[in-house]
Copies of this chain bind each other. A is one copy, B any other.
């Protein structure tokens, strides 16, 4: 008995975990799964994606537009046709659109900004004016302000430190910032914090215009009058409808009045083209900018202020608009109450071919093929939910409202959420929960790169290796492993991941489809099919990657979460954060020595008359012991769990069910109910968008931002909160372990 059990165990682990190479599948199921995946690969079609992209991008389809609703209906009909129970989930949200926009340089060289993207013969949809959203930043304040202009580089906090050193103040001024370096909403927020009364953001040609490459229509980069639209809502505080924070914005929902909303910008903000920026930059006086601030326009960049004043006048329609999420479900055969959710948004600023439709059509193709497989008898064991979100561009409106509306059910049922948001030629990029890192490595090893014929994992590894520096190369060489990135903000995973603690990932290909069409009217079918993914080869690669991921999560015997990898990743973040603190301390000590020795005074050009750094406060030592103790336990227990899981085939069905339930809900234990300081909506204690970076992730955000902002008390408090959170997480790990005893 004993002997035969051991033999069985050996054989079973060998077959199911080693030979077949899908973590979480017992041998019989693995074979069926691999067969299914082979069929998936064979059935995915480029021409469907082409046809759908052409239709969906044939007119402006932003939230509240007739075309947006028509697209939702079109997709819903297709999902139904493919066998999905499909509904349009409707919410009602505040979505401002421009009523009046004007930007003028006054003085003796006056200039009136064009604020208009011209039609081009080479781009067939660029001339469609019906429902075209003009160039603007959503959730700017209304305002009519006149003041001198100051150039603030990227407009992030460090830039204002530099301006202070140069003796340039933005108080009562209008600032001009380059796009890039942070999420755009950070720029007016920080400008207002420094007393600015208006904010203009432009796309410098150095970033995505002629400096980067040939401009549209000759090449893919931003033409002279191309403008990046985009939201400036303070989403690092909370995303979604600003009138209904934390709950679904049904038609009859109770709403905050506009003056009580903290996420709407306090000052007027307008995005402009580099052609419109040129005369503004030419009007600036004051010091020449530091070298790192220079852009690509043919002039000497100065900080300002300008001699002449600038008038910025903006008024918006503050309307409540309906939005339509498409929610398509395929009920699982074995575990109908365990959901694997896939999403991409369907609204675009205008034609939105690359952003978001290129990802949307790949998701649709996955859904179509999975529907067809179900018809052939390969119905998934867990329920699949395919979503097409509306209103992502303004503020993740559709996803956030739906998630808030169904929060409890989603935390109960959702195994994982897989997001995409556009796609182009190049290399696989995955960010998300590190519990899924091993899972995605296995998936990526089984998808072929369309250009080279090797796996997309192999190609990603080659790219990482080829572009690594000397010391990193030595570390990576031979690993053939893809480290996934941590997620900040920027797409619809935020409510699932950072609000509800649902294991999530963002998936996409890119790196060889660079251009300057982003959020302009030129993000079109013509542009996409010429430059970003001709022939939809990488749309197909995305459909294979995400489709395979959906099917594996749906059919796995043991859910493939590796909490030991997550734990080790958290441990790496902690070690790095402690190093940041040590570095801050030694930098402050060195800096103070230099200041005391008058080194900066003596090194400076006295003609410039700039100010010198001030003595830095001492950086204290923090007590990390609580979190270190928690980490030590977690490392031990997650390692034990990992070991135990390799023998999960011996568990009976009810134990397996308990185990799976614990596995997919474990990451929810990393939430802290009161959330992050001053932004309770963000509950995940490992990953958050930076309060002053936006897109950019802050890992261990409570502690990290405390340290970065020299808020030592808060940093210390947050260490203890993290330690307690990790202990809760550890309790679930231990409970999962107990199943094996």
The interface of chain A, by Cβ under 8 A from chain B, is 205, 210-215, 219, 221, 288, 294, 296-300, 425-426, 449, 451-452, 454, 458-459, 462-463, 465-467, 470, 473-474, 477, 512, 587, 590, 593-594, 597-603, 605-607
Contact = CB atoms under 8 A, between A and B. Distances in A.
Contact of A219 (B298, B300, B463): B300
Contacts of A606: 451-452
Nearest to A210: B300
B300 A215 contact: yes
Contacts of A426: 605
A428 to B, nearest CB: 12
A512 B298 contact: no
Contacts of A454: 602
A300 B211 CA distance: 5
A477 B473 CA distance: 33
Nearest to A466: B603
25 contacts: A210-B298, A210-B300, A212-B300, A213-B300, A214-B288, A219-B288, A219-B300, A297-B298, A298-B298, A426-B605, A449-B602, A452-B602, A462-B597, A462-B598, A462-B599, A462-B602, A462-B603, A463-B603, A465-B603, A470-B587, A473-B594, A477-B593, A477-B594, A512-B605, A512-B607
A449 to B, nearest CB: 8
Nearest to A302: B214
A426 B603 CA distance: 9
Contacts of A473: 590, 594
Contacts of A602: 449, 452, 454, 458-459, 462-463
Given A219-B300, A594-B465, A294 B599 contact: no
Top-5 shortest CB links A-B: A462-B602, A466-B603, A298-B298, A463-B603, A462-B603
A533 to B, nearest CB: 12
A508 to B, nearest CB: 17
Contact of A474 (B288, B451, B512, B590): B590
Given A296-B296, A473-B594, 5 more contacts: A213-B300, A459-B602, A463-B603, A470-B587, A512-B605
Contacts of A600: 462, 466
Residue of A212, A299, A474 with highest tally of chain B CB at under 10 A: A299
A454 B602 CA distance: 8
Nearest to A215: B300
Residue of A219, A426, A452, A602 with highest tally of chain B CB at under 10 A: A602
A13 to B, nearest CB: 31
A133 to B, nearest CB: 29
Contact of A603 (B298, B467, B477): B467
A466 B300 contact: no
A300 B214 contact: yes
Contacts of A605: 425-426, 512
A24 to B, nearest CB: 29
A601 B449 CA distance: 13
A587 B477 CA distance: 13
B299 A210 contact: yes
Nearest to A289: B213
Contact of A205 (B298, B451, B477): B298
B288 A599 contact: no
A456 to B, nearest CB: 10
A599 B467 CA distance: 10
A294 B599 CA distance: 35
A135 B601 CA distance: 41
A598 B461 CA distance: 11
A297 B603 CA distance: 32
Contacts of A597: 462
A517 to B, nearest CB: 16
A642 B219 CA distance: 67
Contacts of A466: 594, 599-600, 603
Nearest to A454: B602
Contacts of A221: 300
Contacts of A463: 602-603
A597 to B, nearest CB: 8
A465 B595 CA distance: 11
Contacts of A215: 300
A468 to B, nearest CB: 10
Nearest to A206: B294
A321 B459 CA distance: 64
Nearest to A467: B603
Contacts of A607: 425, 512
B300 A298 contact: no
A477 B438 CA distance: 47
Contacts of A598: 462
Contacts of A214: 288, 300
A288 B210 CA distance: 11
Contacts of A425: 605, 607
A301 to B, nearest CB: 8
A425 B604 CA distance: 12
Contacts of A297: 298
A387 B418 CA distance: 78
Contacts of A212: 300
A294 B205 CA distance: 12
A503 to B, nearest CB: 30
A297 B297 CA distance: 8
Nearest to A512: B605
A512 B297 CA distance: 25
A518 to B, nearest CB: 18
Nearest to A295: B211
Contacts of A587: 470
A115 to B, nearest CB: 21
Nearest to A602: B462
A662 to B, nearest CB: 39
Contact of A211 (B294, B594, B599): B294
Nearest to A458: B602
A110 to B, nearest CB: 21
A205 B593 CA distance: 38
Nearest to A212: B300
Nearest to A214: B300
Residue of A211, A219, A590 with highest tally of chain B CB at under 10 A: A211
A211 B458 CA distance: 42
A204 to B, nearest CB: 12
A454 B603 CA distance: 11
Contact of A213 (B288, B298, B459): B288
Residue of A221, A298, A473 with highest tally of chain B CB at under 10 A: A298
A214 B300 CA distance: 6
A300 B222 CA distance: 12
